[in-house]
Structure 1
Amino acid sequence: MAAELPIPIFTSLDKALPDLQTAAAEGVRYDSMVKEYESRFGHKPTYIARAPGRVNLIGEHIDYVLFGCFPAAIERDILIACGPSQSASGTSTPSSHPPGGVKAENLDPKYKPQHFIPKFNSALGPSAAEEADAASNVHAETSWHLDIDKRELRWESYVKAGYYGVLSRFFSSTTEHPVPVDLLVNGSVPSGSGLSSSAAMVVSSTLAFLAVNNKLDGITKGQLVEMSMENEKRVGVNSGGLDQAASVICTPHSAIFVDFFPRLSAEPIPLPTPRTIPRAVFVCANSLVVSDKVVSAKIHYNLRVVETLVAARVLANRLGLSLGPSDRPRIREIFSRWLGSPELESSPDKVKAGLERFLPEIEKLKPSPEGRPEGQLGITMKEMVEWSGLSEAQFHQVYLSWVDVEAEHFQLYKRTLHVITEAIRVLEFREVCLRAQAAEGELSDDTLRALGALMDASHESCSKLCQSSCPEVDQLAELARASGAYGCRITGAGWGGCTVSLVAEDKVDEFIAKVKEGYAPYKNLEGDKLREVIFATKPSSGAFGKLW
């Protein structure tokens, strides 16, 4: 399985990237970064850790309830050049550098250099930390401290988040110290665009600290995904793993069908190629509405997480499935119990058939219209507690003690309807791609139209049921269809960010020109500035390390 493969470490870019042309172009960028690193720190880096952004082709806001998604890595990425800090004589000298101290700089001048030192919590003590680790079956989080302000997120917070996981996993006692590190960041994934710059940053940071501390042996791609998921939670986002899986596991020329239940798995799915149907590419268009899912988490991203978690409990109660007072299942787990067959034996086709049978059960979450404004399908906090079957104290402990959320009405019905229908669309998208692969040239562009129709339906659901879009993104999606896209949808956490459109390759320039003309924020953009906000992309390779 793709998730069980080791993290690749390359000695030359022509082995890391999909073709010689890409490798040659990127080689210039890597060489420039190494020279800049040496100029700033006085020595060459040991590694360059690379993690791409991703475009989610379909399957939004369903990863954290454990349903499968369909992302692809993009060519834009985050690079982190890293190496042990050295003295003026050119040797690594722990006595002259604090253990584990980090000097972090960014090629973008708007991000100021940072210097931070992790602190080991000696009050807890290594033996107590190890006992807590064993008792909780997780690595003791309290043994290390790095200051991350979740209220005012800074670029280095993502670097610290990646470092935390490495410290917690590999340095839980005082018998071994992390090395002091110099690192330099260079990113081409637009921040806040919905192309997962934050996950790419955390993945590349985690990979960099693993590599520079010689901790990569035995680490699989799946383990790097899981570490990065946990690490991103440290900046305040309860990520479901989609972004990290795409950034780590994807391969060139393919998307992946990534599933999270009963454990992380990833199936590379070749996208339609010139041998099967007229070639099409994906075009990403940035709405220029900045979407920072950390800053607005309590009213957006984290709220959706809580709504789906509570919906799972309420649905279980109404389906007659027993739960303990401290249980916090996800919707996929409730569906699996309702389905009554071991998930390990269920193929994607069986899961899809089960979801179609399960869909009518969602009506059990629809509130009675009596006493409500017309069209109001949300419920109050008081009603939500009552529906859960828990006391107010129990409800708070299970669903609110670990996360901040804010809403007047909680939309359990809408969110669950989105989850189930979106999960079905993902499996249909997978089927269409596999049929195209098997047809070997016998299909027309009806295949592209089928994929486009699923993307359009996904956007409608994200906008109306998940309510994770915004007026500007809706306008871009409508404009994309009018400009010749087979289909278009929001991609990423939402509330701004990017759309992704499926466009015939020979129509890309014409498509971009029409979108530029129709979308007011683009009208005065030309050249590189325009290419920064709207661009075609091919599926890219996942995270890797380049040994220098």
Structure 2
Amino acid sequence: MIAHQPIPVFHTLTDVFGSEEAALPHAKRWNDLAAQFEVRFGRKPTYIARAPGRVNLIGEHIDYALFGVLPAAVERDILIACGSRPTQSLSHHAEIPDTPGSVIAENLHPKYTRQVFAPAVKEPQEVSEQDAHAESWKLDINTKELRWESYVKAGYYGVLNHHFSGVENSPAHVDLLVTGSVPAGSGLSSSAAMVVASTLAFLAVNGKVGDSLEDNGGHKSLDKGGLVELAMKNEKRVGVNSGGMDQAASVMSDPSSALYIRFYPSLTASAVRLPTRAVFVIANSLVVADKALSAKRGYNLRVVETLVGARILAQAVGLPIAPVDRITYREVVGRFAGEQPGADMGADALEAAITRLEPRLDVLKPSVTDGVQLGVTMEEMVQMSGLAPDAFHEAYLSWVDIEATRFQLYKRAKHVLTEARRVLQFRRACVEVEAAASSDGSEAALIDSLGRLMNESQVSCAELFECSCPELDDLTRLARQAGAYGSRLTGAGWGGCTVSLVAEGKVTEFIQKVKETYPPYKNLEGTALSEAIFATKPGRGACGQYIYFALDLFCL
């Protein structure tokens, strides 16, 4: 399994990117980062840690319902040049705390200012009995204002508490220089990439990367699954409750493959080989999805509608459910199909169970007023749940802020189940063609099939889950008119990016047509245009460049 693979060691960028041709465009950026580190800190970096962003090819807003998704790593990434700082150099810098593990963090982007911070060992009275064996360190992170260094600190936090017991076993002083090419707020998961790269950088500088390395606390160095779990916990330090898709895609991805990531009964990932004669083109709508402002009426509301709908459906099909149980749609499908607790029925059986359950969704439909389904009111939703108002509030509203007068339980459920089925169909189509040693004809049919599923996903996101926006609707429509086999939003939606499946030999023509027809692109040229729309093939997951006389690389 991918999750249990150790961190391999590479020696060239060709190994990381798969070929000299693929590595060449990246070499200057890596070398320039190393050179800038030397200018700023007076010595070469020991490592450059890399974590890519991700594109979700299909499977939107179903991970928190515990259904599988199909993301892939993109070429855009976060790079962190890093190295331990000699202790004697501390005396020359009054701003640097003379405590274990102090950090100087700089960013090549001029809008991000230099940051200096250090962790502190928790005093015994600060550690609860529950956490006494879990956390020995503390590090202040501002969760109300998502500053860039908060993601660096988040990555550091888990490394501190996973590998260091306190003053007797303390971390090195660290210098960091960060750069990134994943556009923020675009749905390509720049935040997860930053946390993964930061986690990997602190592991590397402190000598915690290796096949059999074991520190004084008895912790073996992490495998890929361990790094994903650590990065997930780390990102929660900045207030992001991630389901693991972003981190898994950034860490576990393989070249030319997507990842089929399952969240039930536990997080697992397997590679799914993609067609070789088509590429994915990412196009930024240039609408920034501000989760902090839209969450009450967008993301958070969809989570509540999805969870409440699952409870009502479970009751309607006769499944026992406790008042405190926030059952998910994946669990409903499993129990409906007789799946044993903690077991996985398999992809084919899951698809069949979803198909059998879909006709039962009518129980979630609201009443019709003047020919229009307005959604259910809060009072109606509480009544449908079978819970008392206080119990309902505790289970579904006490932990999240939402704003709505009507709730679209049926629409959300219809999207979740049909999208989960599309993910399984997408995966099966790829697996069957690979197993049959695909010919040109079978791969062409596969590409057509994948494109159709992507188009159906976009319609569902727009009409049922209502997480699209006018610009994303226009961009996907124009992409199809420009020759894409399929095009859909990617990420949470309400702005951000689209992903389109395009014939490999027609990418330049496709991008030019989209530029000419999508109004926000018409005045973009050169670098500005390539930042907004670009082709990518699924690449390798997080990695790092180890500089020691010759060029060595470790890569996830």
Q: What TM-score results when the alignment is normalised by the length of structure 2?
A: 0.89
Partner of 2:323: 325
Q: Distance in 1 between matches of 2:518 and 2:382?
A: 44
Q: 1:525 to 1:89 in 2, by over 3 A?
A: same
How far did residue 178 of structure 1 move? 3.1
Report whether the alignment pairs 1:177 with 2:180.
no
Q: 1:11 to 1:119 in 2, by over 3 A?
A: same
Q: Distance in 2 between matches of 1:143 and 1:322?
A: 43
Give the 3-state SS of the residue equivalent to 2:458 in structure 1: helix
Report whether the alignment pairs 1:483 with 2:476.
no
359-368 or 242-251: bigger deviation:
359-368
Q: Distance in 2 between matches of 1:345 and 1:92?
A: 58
Q: Distance in 2 between matches of 1:92 and 1:261?
A: 53
184-193 or 433-442: bigger deviation:
433-442
Give the 3-state SS of the residue equivalent to 1:466 in structure 2: coil
173-182 or 536-545: bigger deviation:
173-182
Partner of 1:425: 422
Q: 1:535 to 1:390 in 2, by over 3 A?
A: same
Partner of 2:117: 116
How far did residue 332 of structure 1 move? 0.9
**Identity across the alignment (%):** 56
How far did residue 295 of structure 1 move? 4.7
1:173-322 alignment, distance < 5 Å: 175-216=168-209, 217-273=220-276, 279-322=277-320
1:489-500 alignment, distance < 5 Å: 489-500=488-499
Contact persistence 1:366–1:377 (CA under 8 A): no
Q: Distance in 2 between matches of 1:173 and 1:379?
A: 54
Q: 1:525 to 1:202 in 2, by over 3 A?
A: same
Give the 3-state SS of the residue equivalent to 2:131 in structure 1: helix
Letter aligned with residue 116 of structure 1? F
Contact persistence 1:85–1:180 (CA under 8 A): yes
Partner of 2:27: 27
Contact persistence 1:124–1:143 (CA under 8 A): no
Give the 3-state SS of the residue equivalent to 2:492 in structure 1: coil
Which of 143, 147, 156 is matched with 2:141 structurally? Answer: 147
Give the 3-state SS of the residue equivalent to 1:262 in structure 2: coil
How far did residue 480 of structure 1 move? 0.6
Number of residue equivalences:
533
1:83-94 alignment, distance < 5 Å: 83-87=83-87, 89=89
Partner of 1:80: 80
Give the 3-state SS of the residue equivalent to 1:38 in structure 2: helix
Partner of 1:8: 8
Give the 3-state SS of the residue equivalent to 1:396 in structure 2: helix
How far did residue 382 of structure 1 move? 3.1
Q: 1:374 to 1:21 in 2, by over 3 A?
A: same
Give the 3-state SS of the residue equivalent to 2:255 in structure 1: coil
Partner of 1:391: 388
Partner of 2:37: 37
Q: Deviation per CA, 1:422-477: give whole Å up to 9, x if none.
A: 01001111122123222421426232221111000000111111111110010000
Q: Deviation per CA, 1:13-68: give whole Å up to 9, x if none.
A: 23222112233432322221111112112232222211101111111111121111
Give the 3-state SS of the residue equivalent to 1:383 in structure 2: helix
31-40 or 115-124: bigger deviation:
115-124
Q: Deviation per CA, 1:133-192: give whole Å up to 9, x if none.
A: 66xxxx45x962422233x32212222222232234334655533333211111011111
How far did residue 290 of structure 1 move? 0.8
Give the 3-state SS of the residue equivalent to 2:494 in structure 1: coil
How far did residue 517 of structure 1 move? 0.8
Report whether the alignment pairs 1:521 with 2:511.
no
1:411-450 alignment, distance < 5 Å: 411-437=408-434, 438-441=436-439, 442-443=441-442, 445-450=444-449
How far did residue 368 of structure 1 move? 2.9
Q: Distance in 2 between matches of 1:213 and 1:395?
A: 47
Partner of 1:506: 505
Report whether the alignment pairs 1:466 with 2:442.
no
Q: 1:118 to 1:405 in 2, by over 3 A?
A: farther
Q: 1:212 to 1:294 in 2, by over 3 A?
A: farther
Contact persistence 2:80–2:201 (CA under 8 A): yes
Give the 3-state SS of the residue equivalent to 2:464 in structure 1: helix
How far did residue 304 of structure 1 move? 2.0
Give the 3-state SS of the residue equivalent to 1:54 in structure 2: strand
Partner of 2:105: 104
Partner of 1:276: none
How far did residue 515 of structure 1 move? 0.8
Q: Distance in 1 between matches of 2:22 and 2:249?
A: 20
Structure 1, unaligned runs of 5 or more: 274-278
Contact persistence 2:154–2:237 (CA under 8 A): yes
Q: 1:510 to 1:16 in 2, by over 3 A?
A: closer
Partner of 1:334: 332
Letter aligned with residue 225 of structure 2? G
Give the 3-state SS of the residue equivalent to 1:50 in structure 2: strand
Q: 1:402 to 1:10 in 2, by over 3 A?
A: farther
Structure 2, unaligned runs of 5 or more: 210-219, 548-556
Letter aligned with residue 274 of structure 2? L
Partner of 2:51: 51
How far did residue 415 of structure 1 move? 1.4
Q: Distance in 2 between matches of 1:346 and 1:205?
A: 37
Letter aligned with residue 481 of structure 2? A
Which of 403, 406, 409 is matched with 1:409 structurally? Answer: 406
Q: 1:376 to 1:168 in 2, by over 3 A?
A: farther
How far did residue 3 of structure 1 move? 1.5
Give the 3-state SS of the residue equivalent to 2:400 in structure 1: coil
Q: Distance in 1 between matches of 2:17 and 2:70?
A: 21
Q: Distance in 1 between matches of 2:181 and 2:120?
A: 32
Q: Distance in 1 between matches of 2:513 and 2:17?
A: 32
Q: Distance in 2 between matches of 1:393 and 1:42?
A: 61
Letter aligned with residue 224 of structure 2? K
Give the 3-state SS of the residue equivalent to 2:430 in structure 1: helix
Q: 1:219 to 1:300 in 2, by over 3 A?
A: same
Q: Distance in 2 between matches of 1:238 and 1:299?
A: 17
152-161 or 518-527: bigger deviation:
152-161
Q: Deviation per CA, 1:210-233: give whole Å up to 9, x if none.
A: 222333443121222222223223
283-292 or 24-33: bigger deviation:
24-33
Q: 1:523 to 1:96 in 2, by over 3 A?
A: closer
Q: Distance in 1 between matches of 2:98 and 2:71?
A: 41
Partner of 2:376: 379
Q: Deviation per CA, 1:107-158: give whole Å up to 9, x if none.
A: 11111112223344426345x45x4366xxxx45x962422233x3221222
